[in-house]
Amino acid sequence: MRVGYPWWIGVCVLMPLLAVLCAPAASAALPLGGGAGIIVNGTYCTLATIGHDKTGELVGFTAASCGGPDSPVVAEGSENLGPVGTVVAANGALYYAVIKFDPAKITPIANFAGFVINGIDTGPHEWHQPACRLGAATGYFCTGIGSLPGAGPRMTMPRGNYQAGDNGGPVTSNDLLIGLITGGTFVPGDPLGAVPFEITQMAKLSAILDDVNSTGSPGAGFTPIPA
């Protein structure tokens, strides 16, 4: 029995130039940047930043609490793409994880949902220095650095809401990345009239970069995508 085909299939086969036009269009890569919601091995978190390390690999950072090495990473709202990256390194003591992304699936951007990351500020930082954060769970919020930065790997931001899905989110000052969100603490009010509030805990990016650079692990020599 003879099987009939649409007339245009024969044209596409016989004329190579038209065959190019007949080929299905490739799907566009997903724009992804600091502040984007990600799911790391089933845990809802936030991407801190994305860029390239010294080897040219497309990498990003999030919180270590999101998932350890070999954890698949899916972009929130684009689960149909499947994993777009994999955690390749983590340091629980310094609260960070490194993600290697698939450049065929991801277009790295420096301005995600209006949150601009235009480079890195490794400090030193000052008490009450202006700071803004973007968490996938609770959104955008600005205040100031709420604790004296000192020599340790952590800083805080007072006020604003916090949920676990914010973990890994970027913290910037004057559009320069200074840290990533690692947790939150609720401070209750008291009978003297103090109102309850929340404190956002964050890891200093300077401590994170010092660690990956000293070990030469994935993420060493990291440079974020420029705005």
In this structure, which amino acid lies at residue 206? S
Q: Tokens 């130039």 label which residue?
A: 17
Is 27 in a helix, a strand, or coil?
coil
Q: Which two tokens stand for residue 121?
A: 């500020």
Query: Which residue segments constitute the domains of the chain, with CATH numbers given?
Result: 30-109 (2.40.10.10), 115-211 (2.40.10.10)
Query: How open is the CA angle 56-58-23, to the nearest 5 degrees?
Result: 105
Give Cα 72 to chain centroid, integer Å. 14
Beta bridge partners of 142: 132
CA distance 129 to 30: 34
Can you give the pTM of this predicted structure? Answer: 0.85
β-pairing, 30-32 vs 106-108, is parallel
Residue pLDDT tens, the chain, 227 long: 333 434 433 444 444 444 444 444 445 689 999 999 999 999 999 999 999 999 999 999 999 999 999 999 999 999 999 999 999 999 999 999 999 999 999 999 999 999 999 999 998 888 889 999 999 999 999 999 987 556 678 899 887 889 999 999 999 999 999 999 999 987 776 667 666 768 899 999 999 999 999 999 999 999 999 98
Q: Which residue has the tokens 């805990």?
A: 201
The closest of 88, 209, 202 to 135, measured between CA atoms, is 202
> In this structure, what is the dihedral angle of CA atoms 177, 179, 181, 187, given to the nearest 10 degrees?
-120
Locate 131 and state its tokens.
């700071």
